[in-house]
Each structure stands twice: as structure tokens, then as C-alpha cells.
Amino acid sequence: MRTELALFSVVALLTACPGELSNKAAFEAYAATHGDAGAPTSDAGSSGSSGSSATPSGGTGEGTAGTDGNDACGDVVARIFVPSCGGTGCHSANAPQQDLDLVSAGVAARVVGVSAKQCLKVLADPENPEQSLLYQKLLVRPDCGAQMPLARPALSSADAACVLGWIAAQ
């Protein structure tokens, strides 16, 4: 039984895939005028962005398009958090790691201004999004702990920028 459970866990980790950018042209147009908003391959101290300007994810609590109509990132929670963070059960509603549920409704209310359980950081800080733990954990060398998603391919720089924009828009 224990071997079957371990085998199932490995298969589940290996079969999941990260989200994809739904509108690459719109994101590239945004990036051309605003810079790279921080690629996940950057060092934690040099994320590539300087400030928390408007971002492609828009400004509503769950990551839908903003008033400017730019929907390059779409619904960040549904498109990125659900498959990449909750897809293997790590941050889903059922026994979430570090008590961090990133898939149930109301994610923003659970992360904005909330301190992390183990790291001395705020999960999502709209005033300083590059220092938010949710974004920092997407970097190759996060300030605290391991890069996420754990045991899965890293998010693309475009998806990491969408997470950064989602945080800034909260």
C-alpha cells in the first residue's frame, strides 16, 4: 500500500503541467511598454521591475481584466494558481501546505497583507509586489525556501509577471 501511494504521488507530480499564456501578443505589447516585470530566472534581488505600476492582470480581486480592457493574463487564480499551485494538491482546499489555499474562491482575502507561516514576509503586498512571498517563490533562488511549484516545471516569465501584476492590482 505504501509503495502504491508513493508511486501515485510521483505520477501525479510528473503528469501535471503549468499554465500557458493565453494571449502572448497582448502580453508582449504590455512588456514592450512597461518592461519585463520580473522573470522567474532572475536573482531575488534583481527582479527586473522598479515599482508597482499597472499590470496586465487588471485590478479586480480574482485577476480578471482591468478597465483598460487588456486581458493578457486573464484570471490569474483560475489560469495559474489552480493548475500550478493547487493541481497536485499542495495549495488546494484539502489540507493545504502551510495553510495556504490558492484555489478556493476569495484567494486575495487570504493572501493580501497576510504574513507567511514560516518566512518573514507578507504573502501578497500590493505596495511592494516584488517582495511578496507569492512572487518571490517563483524565482530561481527565493529569499526563503524552495522555488515553486515544487517538483514541477517553473512558471514561464510571462506567467510570473502575471502573478506579480495580480499582486500589484489587489
2 vs 84 pLDDT, higher one: 84
Judge whether residue 52 has pLDDT over 80. Answer: no
User: Cβ distance 86 to 95 under 8 Å?
Assistant: no
CA–CA separation, 125 and 75 (whole Å): 19
CA–CA separation, 160 and 96 (whole Å): 21
Q: How confident is the model at residue 23 (pLDDT cuts 50, 70, 90)?
A: very low
C-alpha cell at 157: 516569465
Q: CB 79: neighbour CB atoms within 10 A?
A: 19
Res 60: pLDDT: 38
CA–CA separation, 114 and 120 (whole Å): 11
Size of the chain in residues? 170
Rounded mean pLDDT of the chain? 71
Sequential DSSP letters for the chain: -HHHHHHHHHHHHHH------S-HHHHHHHHHHH-----TTSBTT--S--S----TT-SSTT----TT---SS--HIIIIIIIIISTTSTTSSSS-GGG---SSS-HHHHHBTPBPSSSSSBSB-TTSGGG-HHHHTTSSB-SSS--SSTTSPPPPHHHHHHHHHHHHT-
User: Cβ distance 33 to 27 under 8 Å?
Assistant: no
Whole-model pTM: value is: 0.61
pLDDT (tens digit, 9 = 90+) per residue, 56-78? 333 334 444 332 334 789 999 99
Q: CB 139: neighbour CB atoms within 10 A?
A: 23
Judge whether residue 140 has pLDDT over 80. Answer: yes
CA–CA separation, 125 and 92 (whole Å): 21
